[in-house]
Amino acid sequence: MINDSRLEYIFIRTCIVFLHYLTPASIIYTVFLIASYIFGIPRPHTPLAINVIAVAESLFYLVVFLPYSAYLQRAAVHPPVPSRAERKALFEKCYKFIPDPDTYLDRWFLGAPQEEIKHDNVKEFIQWAFFNRGGEAGDDEEELHEYVAAYETLVGRKFEPGRGKAESLRLTLDPIDMLHRSLAWYMCVGFVDLLTYINLLRAGFHFHRTSLSRFFTLFPFRPQAVLTTKRSPAKYTTYWHRPHTSTTHLPVLFIHGIGIGLYPYVPFLSDINSAKDLPAGDGSGGQIGIIALEIHPVSFRLTHAPLSPAVLCAEIASILNQHGYSQVVLATHSYGSVIATHLLAHAETAPMIADMVLIDPVTILLHLPDVAYNFTRRQPQSASQHQLWYFASMDMGVAHSLARHFFWSENVLWKEALEGRDVTVSLAGRDLIVNTEAVGRYLAEGSEDADDERDVEIMPDVSEEGGLLLHEGWKHRPWRGKGIDILWFDDLDHAQVFDTPATRRPVLEAIRAYSANSGNSSGTATVVDES
């Protein structure tokens, strides 16, 4: 993620204008070309390359984008409606962790005036959030009224009867907002993909492709995939693998976030075994194995829809089994925490996950509106917000993945799901997507030494109102390697922890420590995989 300087703002807006208006300009020029041939209109001489690009961009918009975007607008297939007991338990759990009730409603209702958020508006939102549907209340009227009354208690006021003009954010029911991507943009994605391929090969990784019969199901096409002889045991999931030769450490499974694939993570993945200020490999000459999955639906590609949790977990299990990995240290970034949630809940994969490192996770306290609002509805202002909005939020594949296959109640990750494992969570103080303050407080609450004076200090407030100021020492607590640890980077934004060796180092140290501790205690680090 870029920073928010004036120069970076000008740069990102210029890139967006060029990429966004290339297609309209191409269509206008192509219409002029056709008209000039039909009606004999004189035209200036232009290079053949410009004519080819204009026609190709126009055809791509008309033949690919328009029909495909209409196809993607199909209604989501929601998960089954939970039982009443399950709904109540989920509601109570969410209700307990709403740090700012007014902001909670303001974001979920897209900044609508309070007087326009009436009883039926709140009921409609609750139907989507906890019943996985819209429409009439039917037999659920009594239960819905109970939940609306609870929200009234939360915000300290009664909602007026009837329906106001407010519209709530109902991600999987609302129309999908997406913007066209030019053919030139996809060529850039393909070029970056080739660079990633070369860099990972140089770092000792091997690419595992799916069947060649699926070559045309991913665009931009990957000619380099034809060159590899290694096959993924999964039907849809490709991955990169660095062989595991350590006898004292566990291998690592890495799952990336929304973006251009594995390209931004190449230095991070390379440093797991080759950081200059850390011992090489496992310290005794052995190499820590790494599997880095490729999640194409959120990687700026045109491809299949996101896999269901059951199918994806089964594919990941088959990949781990292929290499003889009965247990791994799981490291994820951003959207990768969604998949982590499913791996922990799936009976086959849960025992395979030892300790975990969650970097910029988006699934903790997912019932809060920040992630959904910031990623899909916020009007961009700064350079980083424009970068997120245009290149990620408005991408066809990403928008479809979130609006039709992202069901928050399935993806939310609660603290109790982490019990029994050592977990490090890396949070950025300037994160433009996640409410990291709320997430950090939630994770730190009830942890060992949470009430110690080193962790919570009361100091005089210098404000005019006087009183006391609460300093949250959980941000600066030394890493312990047990229970839930928090790495707090006060001056970083989302994904910036990967940008420099200094910021990567604490995360790498956590991964390597978990790999060593789990490998020594579990007896599963004896795998030697040369494939």
What is the pLDDT confidence band of residue 391, given thresholds at 50, 70 and 90? very high
Looking at 377-500, list the stretches that DSSP marks H as alpha helix, in order from N- to C-terminal side.
Answer: 383-387, 396-405, 408-411, 436-444
Residue 301 lies in a domain: yes
Task: Provide the Cα torsion 88, 89, 94, 95; round to 10°.
Answer: 60
Can you tell me the distance from the alpha carbon of 328 to that of 246, in angstroms, rounded to the nearest whole number?
A: 13
E-only strand ranges, 360-431: 423-428
Rounded to the nearest 5°, which phi and psi values hold at 398? -65, -45
Query: By C-alpha distance, which of 425, 416, 419, 209 is closest to 336?
Result: 425
Distances in Å between the Cα of 32 and the Cα atoms of 29, 63, 183 are: 5, 19, 20
What digits encode the pLDDT tens for the residues 222-243? Answer: 998 898 999 999 999 999 999 9
Residue 349 lies in a domain: yes
Cα 84 from chain centroid (whole Å):
30
Can you tell me the distance from the alpha carbon of 137 to that of 140, in angstroms, rounded to the nearest whole number?
A: 5
- Do 92 and 147 reside in the same domain of the chain? yes
- Do 126 and 253 reside in the same domain of the chain? no
Which of 136, 155, 174 is where one domain is finished? 155
Number of H helices, E strands in the chain: 17, 10
- Do 445 and 386 reside in the same domain of the chain? yes
What digits encode the pLDDT tens for the residues 18-45? Answer: 999 999 999 999 999 999 888 888 878 8
pLDDT given at position 283:
67
Residues 6+ apart with CB under 8 A from 352: 317, 320, 325, 326, 327, 328, 343
Can you tell me the distance from the alpha carbon of 154 to that of 408, in angstroms, rounded to the nearest whole number?
A: 21
Residue 31 lies in a domain: no
Residue 46 lies in a domain: no
Going 279 to 281 to 282 to 283, the CA torsion angle's sign is negative
- Do 143 and 285 reside in the same domain of the chain? no
- Do 95 and 243 reside in the same domain of the chain? no
pLDDT given at position 517:
82
Residue 28 lies in a domain: no
Q: Domain of 110?
A: 84-155
pLDDT above 90: percentage of residues in the chain: 84
Q: Are 413 and 366 in contact (CB under 8 A)?
A: yes
Say what the pTM is. Answer: 0.92
Q: Are 256 and 292 in contact (CB under 8 A)?
A: yes
pLDDT given at position 44:
80
- Do 500 and 408 reside in the same domain of the chain? yes
- Do 140 and 195 reside in the same domain of the chain? no
pLDDT given at position 277:
53
For residue 471, how many other CB atoms are within 10 A of its CB?
A: 13
C-alpha atoms less than 13 angstroms from C-alpha of 263 in its C-beta half-sphere = 16
Can you tell me the distance from the alpha carbon of 365 to that of 505, in angstroms, rounded to the nearest whole number?
A: 27
Arithmetic mean of pLDDT, 129-153: 93
For residue 434, how many other CB atoms are within 10 A of its CB?
A: 26
Residue 481 has pLDDT above 60, yes or no: yes
Residue 276 has pLDDT above 80, yes or no: no
Residue 371 has pLDDT above 50, yes or no: yes
What digits encode the pLDDT tens for the residues 326-360? Answer: 999 999 999 999 999 999 999 999 999 999 999 99
Residue 1 lies in a domain: no
Return left, alpha or beta for 466; rule: phi > 0 is left, psi -120 to 50 is alpha, else beta.
left
What digits encode the pLDDT tens for the residues 417-471? Answer: 999 999 999 999 999 999 999 999 999 987 655 444 434 333 333 333 333 333 5
Query: 199 burial class (0-12, 13-18, 19+ CB within 10 angstroms)?
Result: middle
470 by DSSP, 3-state: which? strand
pLDDT given at position 278:
60
Arithmetic mean of pLDDT, 272-291: 76
pLDDT given at position 286:
84
CATH of the domain at 492: 3.40.50.1820
Residue 340 lies in a domain: yes
- Do 149 and 191 reside in the same domain of the chain? no
- Do 203 and 143 reside in the same domain of the chain? no
- Do 218 and 147 reside in the same domain of the chain? no
The angle that helices 141-155 and 84-96 make with each other, rounded to 10 degrees, is 10
The residues facing 291 across adjacent strands are 241, 253
pLDDT given at position 525:
43
For residue 222, how many other CB atoms are within 10 A of its CB?
A: 19
- Do 327 and 464 reside in the same domain of the chain? yes
Residue 47 lies in a domain: no
- Do 264 and 349 reside in the same domain of the chain? yes
Our count of domains for the chain comes to 2
